[in-house]
């Protein structure tokens, strides 16, 4: 089974839901969960390249660094005529799609607008 995150302000509610999910998975699907964790998440939870908060989603520090590095690299390749505009657009599409899921307003202002790039 894929990883999942469940948020709730009440620990007892999380424990109840955890039991219900485990019972369903075992009785209906014959599956079991790996070790589960119940934590406070004031600093967010690293998950699939993002840092997940109760009300928001941000790029993880590693994802942000990789995103910026790849974007700069693609811009350099384009400006030095190593790739066409069409190739540039294809290759940056995945980067932007991944970043758009997260709250990237600060990233947009800091890196894209100052270099004449469009907002996501």
pLDDT in tens, 35-69: 777 777 778 888 888 888 877 888 898 998 998 89
Domain count, the chain: 2
Task: For 91-109, write each residue's pLDDT tens digit.
Answer: 888 888 888 878 766 666 6
Please check whether residues 66 and 109 belong to one and the same domain: yes
Please check whether residues 41 and 77 belong to one and the same domain: no
Mean pLDDT value across the chain: 82
pLDDT at 58: 87
User: Closest Cα to residue 59, out of 99, 118, 94?
Assistant: 99
Please check whether residues 65 and 111 belong to one and the same domain: yes
Q: Is the pLDDT of residue 24 over 50?
A: yes
Question: How much is the pTM?
Answer: 0.61
Distance CA 110, CA 9 (A): 33
Domain that holds residue 111: 60-115
From residue 25, alpha-carbon distances to 18, 29, 110 in Å are: 11, 5, 45
């Amino acid at each position: 089974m894929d990883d999942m995150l469940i948020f709730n302000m009440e620990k007892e509610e999380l424990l109840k839901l955890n039991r219900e999910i485990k019972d369903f998975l075992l009785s209906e699907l014959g599956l079991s969960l790996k070790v589960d964790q119940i934590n406070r998440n004031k600093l967010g939870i690293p998950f699939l390249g993002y840092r997940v908060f109760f009300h928001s989603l941000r790029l993880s520090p590693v994802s942000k660094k990789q995103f910026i590095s790849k974007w700069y690299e693609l811009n350099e390749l384009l400006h030095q005529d190593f790739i066409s505009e069409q190739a540039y657009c294809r290759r940056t599409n995945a980067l932007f799609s991944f970043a758009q899921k997260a709250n990237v307003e600060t990233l947009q202002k800091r890196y894209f607008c100052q270099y004449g790039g469009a907002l996501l």
